[in-house]
């Protein structure tokens, strides 16, 4: 099995995270998929953004949900890259960009202070509207969100994010009805038998966030289904035996 390469928030080592610029570069570099995060604006538009608050990645202040999409578009989301000017993209813009390609999308529903119980429904509806249902994996640390997605669309692919060591994650994954586990790659490095046990029980394994070439090759050796990386070009070189 060939391990798929997912670009973490796009090719975020080279372009501002969760922007069309980072997603476009991931397509150009040949990534198999893109991992991104979503939040909801004041006017109920789903946007690609990791943080609930604006300060880390933009020149805005406060919470995303306090602004409309038009207002958010006035902020520069390229703060972490000198001279970069990028705007927050709506998920609809991301779908329009990615649909002509063959890339998959791993969409993380964020755990936020202001919980939006309508996020799973709105996200599933938008995915269906753009005909992307067979190319999206829904992931979250909020496992209730994943169950909500499954109730809306039983055939949707879901992956449970977790960061601490979990006893028999394949058992829990089957119990809550997800298709994948999404652990920190260090968990798999310490407990590589997890991959086989998951596969034996029909559960896939997608790990995050792997940039070091040696760690990338280790994850591929252990047979993970996909790995999430800020440097898809490096991971692709590892997979092709060039590094």
Backbone angles phi, psi at 124, to 5 degrees: -65, -40
Q: Please tell me which residue in 8, 182, 199, 221 is annotated as part of the active site.
A: 8
Sequence-separated contacts (24+) of 222-225 with Cβ below 8 Å: 222/188, 222/192, 222/195, 223/1, 223/3, 223/195, 223/196, 223/199, 224/3, 224/188, 224/195, 225/1, 225/3, 225/4, 225/180
Cβ–Cβ < 8 Å for 161, 139? yes
Q: Which two tokens stand for residue 205?
A: 């394994």
Using DSSP, state whether 148 is helix, strand or coil. helix
The answer to whether 8 is a known catalytic residue is yes
**Alpha carbon distance 149, 151 (integer Å):** 5
Closest alpha carbon to 109 in 74, 68, 146: 146
Backbone angles phi, psi at 225, to 5 degrees: -70, -40
The answer to whether 50 is a known catalytic residue is yes
Q: Which two tokens stand for residue 11?
A: 């090719």
As annotated, the active-site residues are: 8, 50
């Amino acid at each position: 099995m060939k391990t798929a390469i997912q670009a973490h928030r796009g090719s975020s080592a080279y372009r501002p995270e969760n922007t069309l610029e980072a997603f476009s570069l991931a397509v150009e570099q040949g990534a198999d998929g893109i991992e991104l995060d979503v939040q909801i604006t004041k006017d109920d538009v789903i946007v690609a953004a990791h943080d609930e608050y604006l300060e880390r990645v933009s020149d805005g202040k406060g919470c995303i949900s306090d602004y409309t999409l038009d207002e958010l578009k006035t902020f520069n989301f390229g703060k972490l890259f000198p001279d970069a000017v990028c705007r927050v993209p709506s998920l609809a813009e991301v779908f329009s960009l990615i649909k002509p390609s063959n890339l998959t999308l791993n969409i993380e529903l964020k755990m936020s202070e202001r919980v939006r119980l309508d996020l799973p429904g709105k996200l599933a509806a938008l995915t269906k509207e753009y005909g992307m249902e067979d190319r999206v994996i829904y992931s979250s640390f909020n496992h209730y969100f994943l169950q909500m997605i499954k109730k809306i669309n039983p055939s949707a692919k879901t992956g449970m994010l977790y960061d601490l060591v979990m006893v028999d994650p394949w058992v829990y994954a089957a119990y809550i009805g997800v298709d994948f586990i999404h652990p920190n790659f260090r968990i798999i490095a310490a407990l590589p038998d997890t991959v086989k046990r998951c596969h034996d029980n029909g559960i896939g394994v997608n790990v995050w966030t792997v940039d070091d070439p040696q760690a990338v090759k280790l994850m591929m050796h252990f047979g993970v289904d996909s790995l999430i990386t800020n440097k898809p070009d490096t991971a692709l070189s590892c997979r092709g035996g060039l590094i």
